[in-house]
Amino acid sequence: MAAGRTRTELGRALADARAAWGSPAWVAVAAIALAAAVPFLSLPWVRVDALAQTVYLAVTATALGLLVGTAGLPSLGAGAFVAVGAFTSALLVAREDWPLEPAALAGALAALAAALVFGGVVRLRPAFVAASTWALAWLVWLGLLAFPSISGGSQGLIVPDRNLLGLDATPTVHFEVALALLVLTALGIAAVRRGAPGLELTALRQAPPLAVSLGVRLGRRRLGAFAASAFVAGLAGGLSVQLAAVADPASYDPFLSFKLLVAVLLGGAAATLGPAAGVAVLGLIALASGPLARALQLPLERFDAAVAAILLVFVLALGGGGIVPWATRRLAHLGWFQRVRPSLQVTDCYKEEERREVPGGLVLHAQGLRKAYGGVVAVDALSLELVPGEAAALVGPNGSGKTTALRLLSGAVAADAGQVVLGDRDVTTATPSERVRLGIARTLQTVTTFPELTALEDVLVGRSVRRRYGGGIRTALATPNARRETAASEGAALEALALVGLRDVADVETQALTTSERRLVALAAALATEPDVLLVDELAAGVGADELERLAEVVARIRSGGIALLLVEHNLRLVRLVSDRVLVLAAGHVVAEGSVEEVAGSDAVRQAYLGAQTL
């Protein structure tokens, strides 16, 4: 039975691959075949050992591209992980007589462990990520110099000859292995970029608060990318050190990390093969700079570093896009190459997840919530209850604490006092992503969508919180469960878009949509998390009067699914159209609560807020 299922899944995978196969794939295959043939062409100017080292470097850079490009974390520590992998592998081979393959794998695991130990940096802002990882690069290098008993001193650790995959480890064998590793890494990175992990990393890069509000776990996702990048770097280091035959600290100085980042930015962090292209360009420049350095009687190492620094400034000055994205745009402009987004294929295997039963009738109960910022009380003694399918509105003048109230309910800020209960579960201390998982979703007031994503991709970010098989490894390996779940997620995301009336713009980039459409996309993303409670901030902001009816219909559809809504609104017409109940906040306190008519007739409310306005 298992064999039959495997056959079925393989058949499906082959069918998908055949459907996706096109001229770019043929070009890629031809390029790989040509590259693999290079050592056998006996080209006199080609040094196969140098080529192999370059390809190992490209492997490291490709993995770094995921971290820099997709996750937006400019790591200057990749060289440190290469060094950890290299020296771990070298020590095991030289001193413990290990074969090369397990030694290299041990190097990769050591680099992974180092990444996990140092992984706290992923929560920092990009500038501090760069600074911290740069410090790591120095730390590792200085550590190697300080312990010559480990590193072999200035001349390094000699790595004895070993076979590689049962073959005599000549430079040619290393080149082919490195090329295979590059292809596999690129395929894996491409799959991750396209899949849920890539979407989440992109979302975290573009708008971290919005991504977190949709349940994306910032620390876990970024750490995953950081660790994956380190693992690949360690593996490349563990293999390349055997080719070099010497593990010497001088080859793993902080400049290696700098060069890798330059390669990523030069080639294009946004493109899977951009970093490899960047490494190739740096290699060609090194070939040219050798004779130039000799002519100018400059040490080549310093000259090389100067060239890399100049290139970095050049790339950043031109916008930092990189060679491959530029080339892709030019080719697309010439009609030679079109960026193809995978077509949506919703399979029959999609299975609707059962809605969670909420006991007791109340879906949300908040009691006595308080939040003060220094001496300023933003919210005090806020209590409210929601039942399934109810729509309540929270209104009040600017600065009355409405958004703070939403932030308290969603967990974006910790309450100074009070309690939040979802169903029968106290979620007062739960993090925002945990609350999303438990059923409280929120839209943000100012940042509504992820600018580089399409409407569908935006909603898929929200959907990812419900995925079980959306991890990096499963996505990279395209396991049957991951693929099935991807199709199911796309179906759910399309349903969410349909519910808000935007199914037709699923493939449109969000920055091309109108303001109201973007707010609806944000609503769909929150709906994709399958909430029990939806906290909506300023749904009608920037919306024309003629669109209010449409919004009211959307809210009605959401309510009919049993979801409780709490809307923060300035647009009192929309409040009148959709709300069962209104709470009026003034100076952080609820000054009135009741039906629209009851609140509209209250003198206290009029005094505090409405003034010339009426509900």
Partner 1 sequence: MLAGLAVLAAGCGKSTGSPPGKIVLAVDVPVTGSPYVAQTIRNGAGLAVDRLNGGGGITVGDRKYKIVVKLYDNHLSARRAVENTRRALSAGAVAIVTDGTGVPATWQLARKDSVPIAITYDGATGLVDPDTRPNVFRIAPTNHAIAFRLAEYTIPKGLKVGLLHDDSAYGQEGAKDVDSAFSANPKSVATRMTLPAVATDLSAQILRARRSGATALLVWGQPSTIAAVLTAARTMGWNVPVFTPPTGADPYIRQRLADHPDWVDGLTFASGRMTAEVGAAPFKAFQSQYEATYGADKVGVTNSKGKQVVQPPEFAMYPYDFVNVLVAALTKAGSVDPHKVLPELNQVTTQGANGDERGFNEHNHEGVVDDDIYFARFHDMTYSPVPDDPLSSTLPTIPQTR
CA neighbor of 490 nearest in space, from 515, 539, 440, 456 = 456
Tokens linked to 387: 């039942």
Instruction: For residue 381, state whether it binds partner 1 (rule: CB under 8 A).
Output: no
Instruction: For residue 283, state whether it binds partner 1 (rule: CB under 8 A).
Output: no
Choices 238-246, 267-275, 451-459, 558-566 (CB under 8 A): range interacting with partner 1: 238-246
Choices 46-54, 135-143, 352-360, 410-418 (CB under 8 A): range interacting with partner 1: 46-54
Choices 111-119, 167-175, 231-239, 606-614 (CB under 8 A): range interacting with partner 1: 167-175
Distance of CA 449 to the CA centre of its chain: 15
Q: Which is nearer to partner 1, 158 or 288 (CB)?
A: 158
* Residue 248: CB minimum distance to partner 1, A: 5
Instruction: For residue 39, state whether it binds partner 1 (rule: CB under 8 A).
Output: yes
Q: Which is nearer to partner 1, 1 or 37 (CB)?
A: 37
Asked if 414 and 585 touch (Cβ cutoff 8 Å), the reply is no
The single residue among 119, 126, 143, 153 that binds partner 1, judged by CB under 8 A, is 153
Instruction: For residue 170, state whether it binds partner 1 (rule: CB under 8 A).
Output: yes
Count of other CB atoms within 10 angstroms of residue 557: 15
CA distance 305 to 320: 19
| Count of alpha carbons within 13 angstroms of residue 275, beta-carbon side | 32
Instruction: For residue 244, state whether it binds partner 1 (rule: CB under 8 A).
Output: yes
Instruction: For residue 388, state whether it binds partner 1 (rule: CB under 8 A).
Output: no
Q: Which is nearer to partner 1, 164 or 596 (CB)?
A: 164
The single residue among 12, 13, 16, 49 that binds partner 1, judged by CB under 8 A, is 49
Classify 554 as helix, strand or coil.
Answer: helix
Tokens linked to 269: 């962090």
Q: Which is nearer to partner 1, 35 or 413 (CB)?
A: 35
The single residue among 173, 204, 230, 235 that binds partner 1, judged by CB under 8 A, is 173
Instruction: For residue 561, state whether it binds partner 1 (rule: CB under 8 A).
Output: no
Q: Which is nearer to partner 1, 1 or 33 (CB)?
A: 33
Give the residue carrying structure tokens 């082959």. Answer: 14
In sequence order, the β-bridge partners of residue 167 are 164
CA distance 111 to 233: 8
Q: Which is nearer to partner 1, 152 or 480 (CB)?
A: 152
Instruction: For residue 177, state whether it binds partner 1 (rule: CB under 8 A).
Output: yes
Written as one letter, the residue type at 541 is A
Q: Which is nearer to partner 1, 299 or 368 (CB)?
A: 299
The single residue among 119, 148, 208, 601 that binds partner 1, judged by CB under 8 A, is 148
Can you list the alpha helix ranges (DSSP code H) found in 353-499?
A: 402-410, 432-438, 455-463, 472-477, 480-499
Choices 34-42, 319-327, 363-371, 449-457 (CB under 8 A): range interacting with partner 1: 34-42
Asked if 276 and 122 touch (Cβ cutoff 8 Å), the reply is no
The single residue among 250, 305, 372, 477 that binds partner 1, judged by CB under 8 A, is 250
Asked if 211 and 449 touch (Cβ cutoff 8 Å), the reply is no
**Burial (0-12, 13-18, 19+ Cβ within 10 Å), 189:** buried
Neighbour-count burial for 302-313, b at 16+ CB within 10 Å, e otherwise? ebbbebbeebbe
Task: List contacts with partner 1 (CB under 8 A).
Answer: 33, 36-37, 39-40, 42, 47-50, 148, 153-156, 158-161, 165, 167-168, 170-173, 175-177, 179-180, 244-246, 248, 250-251, 299-300
